[in-house]
Amino acid sequence: MSRTVDLDPDAVLARATHARGDIFPEWKPVAQTVPETYHLVNETVSYLHRYQGQEESPEGLSRPMRELIAIPALCAKSDLRHAPNHVRRAYRIGLTNQALFEAASAFASVVGWGGGLTFMSLAIMEANNPFYAFGQLPPGGEPKALTPFPEMKLGRKPQDSGSRSLADRPEWQYAAGIDPELVRRAAAFVDHCLLADGATDEILGPGPRELIAIAALCTRGAVDITSDHIRSAYDLGMTRRQVLEAICCVIPMTGSLSATHGLRAMQLVDAKTQ
């Protein structure tokens, strides 16, 4: 290892508990048996999600935005053990159900509404269940008012006037030649979720929603399509750092392979702009 660190299992567990605020009991046998492995898990996830002790960077994503990517990723995996714990954390940092469902909608534009929206609803229900044992609800449960975070003001106006509608993609234009009504309805859902026609009074504008969709696409290994959404995110004013961090927010749920797909997509975009 690059630096000296106390790998006594109790010390490893104490650091993880301090960072997250709590830990799931299934991690205790991991820490007791392979403490260095769990130490590296905690080191990585703490940095990716900016847990306690990790400084936020003004160039990077805020803690709330990271949760708005992580929670839909957990819901897409039907993970109703861990997702409600993250919902409670989201509540503690001032996110409302409206913000969570907007993020879930953007993720659902890629994974479908079953994994995207219904499991977010189930996670919220479980987080508000007094018998759910993991993590603390803030006093009063879901915040009544949203605590503002930086991404709320970002990515609301594209630089390019080109269409962002799913219906205008070549593949869907082809489909429209066969069944135009099918394309109209499918595109209406995706365009709504990603605010393809622009932002109004939603919490998350088109730019942050593209970041969420990019993370979702990485979990599917869709490199070419991910690169298209990265170009759209850049056009909406999102930065390479923000795109990178969005991609890497799903490493804990889906592994480094998802991030590798995203990095390849970023490289494709870089190659075409040089």
Instruction: Give per-residue pLDDT as tens, 82-93.
Output: 999 999 999 999
* Record: fold of 157-273: AhpD-like (1.20.1290)
Whether the predicted pLDDT of 262 surpasses 90: yes
188-198 pLDDT, tens digit per residue, is 999 999 999 88
Say if residue 271's pLDDT is above 70. yes
79-134 pLDDT, tens digit per residue, is 999 999 999 999 999 999 999 999 999 999 999 999 889 999 999 999 999 999 99
Mean pLDDT across 207-212: 98
> Residue 25: pLDDT above 70?
yes
Alpha-carbon dihedral angle through residues 163, 164, 165, 167, given to the nearest 10 degrees: 70
Q: At what angle do helices 223-235 and 206-220 cross, to 10 degrees?
A: 170
The predicted pLDDT at position 241 comes to 97
Average pLDDT over residues 210-227: 97
Residue 163 is predicted with a pLDDT of 87
Query: What share of the chain has pLDDT > 90, as a percent?
Result: 86
Least confident of 4-8, 37-41, 146-150, 169-173: 4-8
pLDDT per residue over 160-184, tens digit each? 878 899 999 999 999 999 999 999 9
pLDDT averaged over the chain?
A: 94
Distance (Å, whole) CA 57 – CA 208? 17
**Which residues 6+ apart lie within 8 Å of 66 measured at CB?**
48, 49, 50, 245, 249
195 vs 225: CA distance, rounded Å? 18
pLDDT of 55 higher than 90:
no
Structure confidence at residue 3 (pLDDT)? 64
* Largest CA-CA distance found in the chain, in angstroms, rounded: 64
pLDDT at 1: 43
